[in-house]
Structure 1
């Protein structure tokens, strides 16, 4: 591969993932890490990416939120399995928060009709749970985000101040070992920060594609995440790094019936 071709591919990978590590690029292209660092320095000088500690970050505008219907059909199998496993963390009479992620909607579909209180900013989640008589659903209200089919903004944030919950289930666009979890939209990030603050236990739902990505706005660092549920394609080295940060990790095996837990 010519140097120019490698440059183009590096920029494409960084823009797709939001951020990427030197070691990962070295493995992908079969070149030394020193060569990768030199490539990244040159690309930064051209304004095509930004160097970060251990890698590079995209300079592409990440503020735009991905429409819900695009997220809903991406990595469906992984999200469904993660959602089904997350349901096992719920007990009768729990008070829980489900965010506006597509994985939370899969959770709502998988939830049995048992006594629960569910607080959500998601129209899709609220509609799904409306058919389950024993589940009380509380919507945040607020400004409607048409892309995510959810409520956001100051009114949604203030409505959360009224509540305390046992468990918050959130997903995100980016999972980064050093920088925590992140979102492309600042208003979504602020609302998720509130959701995390309200809970006794915070459970992050993230498939393999989220790892190594740094989106526009940080949601929180790892000190506020208790448990991660992810799929079999997530790298073991990432899970080990999170365990060192005292995050309990649950990595699903190939089938939805089997799972392995380490802490």
Structure 2
């Protein structure tokens, strides 16, 4: 990993966690603690974070990621309908990936107890599926992000690379027909990107409010998406654009 890339991810991580220790950063990025201290010193001079005793703290007043509790409320009815439609695409014996989105959690709640393997980086999805005896659940592990109750980072990405799934179901912060899928969180974006790479088929779960939005971190181009499930409020021009790209659209 290049120095600039490591430092960019370091700032992102500090802003997510609000505070983090040098020894943890050293293990995460596989560099010495002295290297991390030099990074922190440079980033503090650039006013990107503030060093503390044994680590660093965020100087952002607002966290970049909306909490799970807040996301459960935002467009909850639409997300539940989208999740119900997505569950219809799952067949006994499937191997699927579910991201840490609220819609994926609603899917986990609706999934019948059938022979299935689910790979996820979401703690809430894993806990929900643990109630269903026939479903085998594999958690990626990795760095815990308390704000989203999910695992991210190099360990989560490497874990995903060890598997293959038939279908990946994921959501994101923004969907732009020309620019693709984006997320406000770089670490979450990388995990979603890896899920797409290991899947035969990727299904995007996105209510109408997400379209036309471009967030900070790029996940994938639209041509990497096989189908989209959205709600009926979707703008007709977007429906037409998806059709032109041969992306199957289902609205609920």
Could you tell me the TM-score, scaled by structure 1's length?
0.72
Residues 186-225 of structure 1 deviation map (CA, whole Å, 9 limit, x = unaligned): 0000110000000000000000110111000110001110
Moved more, 62-71 or 163-172: 62-71
Residues 96-142 of structure 1 deviation map (CA, whole Å, 9 limit, x = unaligned): 00000000000000000000000000000000000000000000000
The residue correspondences of 1:78-97 to structure 2 (distance < 5 A) are 78-97=78-97
2:106 matched to 1:106?
yes
Gaps of 5+ in 2: 1-60
Alignment size in residue pairs = 192
Question: How far apart in 1 are the matches of 2:145 and 2:236?
Answer: 36
* Equivalent in the alignment of 2:68: 68
Residues 33-71 of structure 1 deviation map (CA, whole Å, 9 limit, x = unaligned): xxxxxxxxxxxxxxxxxxxxxxxxxxxx99811111111
2:155 matched to 1:155?
yes
* Equivalent in the alignment of 1:125: 125
Q: Offset at 1:239? A: 1.1
* Equivalent in the alignment of 1:46: none
The residue correspondences of 1:1-263 to structure 2 (distance < 5 A) are 64-252=64-252
Question: How far apart in 2 are the matches of 1:236 and 1:150?
Answer: 34
Question: How far apart in 2 are the matches of 1:247 and 1:66?
Answer: 29
Q: Offset at 1:93? A: 0.5
Per the alignment, do residues 62 and 164 of structure 1 end up closer, same or farther by CA in structure 2, a change over 3 Å counting? farther
Gaps of 5+ in 1: 1-60, 253-263
Question: How far apart in 1 are the matches of 2:243 and 2:126?
Answer: 33
Q: Offset at 1:237? A: 1.2
Question: How far apart in 2 are the matches of 1:161 and 1:194?
Answer: 7
Q: Offset at 1:178? A: 1.2
* Equivalent in the alignment of 2:50: none
| Partners of 1:229 and 1:251 within 8 A in 2 | yes
Question: How far apart in 1 are the matches of 2:177 and 2:127?
Answer: 34
| Partners of 1:62 and 1:184 within 8 A in 2 | no
* Equivalent in the alignment of 2:48: none
What is the aligned-residue RMSD (CA, Å)?
Answer: 1.3
* Equivalent in the alignment of 1:38: none
SS of residue matched to 1:79: helix
Per the alignment, do residues 217 and 132 of structure 1 end up closer, same or farther by CA in structure 2, a change over 3 Å counting? same
Could you tell me the TM-score, scaled by structure 2's length?
0.75
